Structures are given as structure tokens and as C-alpha cells.
Amino acid sequence: MDKMLNMLGLMRRANAIQIGETNTGAAVRGGKGKLLLLASDASDNARSRAEGFARGRSILTVTLPYTKEEISAHVGLRGCSMAAVTDVGFANALMRALSEAWPEDYSGLAGEMEARFQRAQRRKKEADAHERNKRFGKRRTNV
């Protein structure tokens, strides 16, 4: 339990999470959000806004098993009912930790996040290879 909350604090220090309704909305609308987090006691208004942010976008929305106060204590801001994780690696690690602690609730979402993480890693590897090829040329073999 503390592992997930500590991970939120680590994401905050790494600038890999946008906290609060305004920042979360901007991150999701800008295409930077990878995972949309909601507190377990978030208001109906906050839930509907989060659904509006996620509508038509490929972002997973997860309701955490923590209250606003528990989340706020670890990220250093008061009244945090929603947040957007902007780093796919952190999002994957958080979902993996949640699925280990509560497999019946989060295993399906964790599998989807793992697939997205693998796709992102593959795209990064291909982009790095492309840059290397542009810089040094692709080696060709004579047949």
C-alpha cells in the first residue's frame, strides 16, 4: 500500500505527474497524459470532468483505492482528487504494483498498460535506430 503512495511522491519529484484538475486536463488534452488517476472519494463532478478529459483519447482512467487525503499527503498538495501520469514507465510500474496488491480490480488495466509500455519501448528503439542510421548511414552488405 505504501509502495504505490510513495511512487506517487517519486513521480512528483521526477515531474512525471500532473496534479489537480487544471493541470490534469491540460496534460490529457495535450496528449502527454498516459494514465488518469482518480481518488476513491473524488466527487461526482470531478469524475465527470475526468471522463470528459478522457473521452475520445487513448488514456486509461483508474480509480485508486486511496482517498484525497492519503494522496495529498504523499504528493505535497492539498485536495488532490485527480492526476495524470505523463511518463509511460511510471504509469506501467504503478499499474503493475496495483495489480499485485489488488489483482481482481486492476489486473486487466495493468495488462493494457503493459501492452502500451511495450509499444512505446519498441517505438523508442526504432526511433533511436533511425537516428543512428541518419547520422552514420546504414551499413550495406554486398551480395
Parse the chain into domains and list their residue ranges.
2-136
17 phi/psi in degrees, rounded to 5: -145, 140
Along the 143 residues of the chain, how does pLDDT read in single tens digits? 578 888 998 999 999 999 999 999 999 999 999 999 999 999 999 999 999 999 999 899 999 999 999 998 888 888 889 999 999 999 999 999 999 999 999 999 999 999 999 999 999 999 998 888 888 877 666 65
The pLDDT of residue 94 = 95
For the domain spanning 2-136, the CATH number is: 3.30.1330.30
Distances 126 to 13, 47, 116, 133, 136 between C-alpha atoms, Å: 29, 37, 15, 10, 15
Distances 68 to 19, 72, 131 between C-alpha atoms, Å: 12, 6, 44
> What's the chain's Rg over C-alpha atoms?
18
62 contacts: CB under 8 Å, gap ≥ 6 = 35, 36, 37, 38, 95, 98, 106, 109
Q: Grid coordinates in use for 70?
A: 492519503
* Nearest alpha carbon to residue 95 among 85, 106, 105: 106
Record the pTM.
Answer: 0.86
d(CA 21, CA 50): 8
